[in-house]
Amino acid sequence: MTARTVRLRSNLARTSLIGLVAAAAALFGIELLQSDNASAQPSPKALQDAAMFASIADANQRSVALFTEAGKVLQHPRCMNCHPATRRPTQAETMHPHVPPMFAGDLGTGAPGLPCATCHRQENTATLGAGIKTVPGAPHWGLAPASMAWQGRTLGQICAQIKDPARNGGRSLAQIKSHLAEDHLVGWAWHPGDGREPAPGTQVQFGKLIDAWIATGANCPSG
């Protein structure tokens, strides 16, 4: 083997390694300027139980207070990242654009040839990367419909969207409660994988807040 052949093979190996590193960075969203803040330890926030609002005598005011408490979950990055203002998902606590660039496609599950399921499996997947510890995963991973975009909207506007069958997928309030309290994809927000802050409280608490909100008239905050 000549010295020139050895140099060529060495250069090819180095190029291949660089390519693999770049591919991994794109796949797992690892980049120097936009990390997923995975090194920070998550600190779950509290959520008040629905029973705590029983002392509010006026049912309308109690309903608004219940939804406002539930809004701590709805407006948390774990939920907002999948309810973006555009048809591109966002990531992390900063809700920066998804890395690599992704688009919802017609079904909300990715563009042709690059579905969300390429990386997002049925459950969280551990990685060996330094910038992100787990790739999120849950059944039916994908974006909410465009009609349910929440980023940039007030809690009152989000409330109106949730109640409106024309925008919520034709769901009744009872179906909305079931979706929010029982759906596994919604439940991922409380089990987001190592390196991410879970949504406040628990899905059970959240479901009871939504149930009590509906029972008191499903009133929305102003604004």
pLDDT confidence tier of residue 131, bands split at 50, 70 and 90:
confident
| pLDDT above 70 coverage of the chain, percent | 80
Q: Which long-range contacts (CB under 8 A, 24 or more apart) does 12-15 make?
A: none
Question: Strand 110-111 relative to strand 96-97: parallel, antiparallel, unpaired?
Answer: unpaired
| CB atoms near residue 138 (< 10 Å) | 20
- pTM for this predicted structure: 0.81
What are the tens digits of pLDDT across the range 6-42? 343 444 333 333 333 334 444 444 333 333 443 344 5
What are the tens digits of pLDDT across the range 164-182? 999 999 999 999 999 999 9
For 136, half-sphere exposure in the C-beta direction (CA atoms, 13 angstrom radius) is 30
The pair of three-digit structure tokens given for residue 123, joined into one six-digit string: 């459950």
The pair of three-digit structure tokens given for residue 194, joined into one six-digit string: 């190592």
Is the pLDDT score of 75 beyond 60?
yes
Of 202, 72, 50, the C-alpha closest to 80 is: 72
What is the residue whose two structure tokens read 């997923």? 36
The pair of three-digit structure tokens given for residue 21, joined into one six-digit string: 């590193």
Rounded CA separation 49/202 (Å): 10
pLDDT confidence tier of residue 2, bands split at 50, 70 and 90:
low
Q: CB–CB of 198/129 below 8 Å?
A: no
What are the tens digits of pLDDT across the range 179-220? 999 999 999 999 999 989 999 999 999 999 999 999 999 999
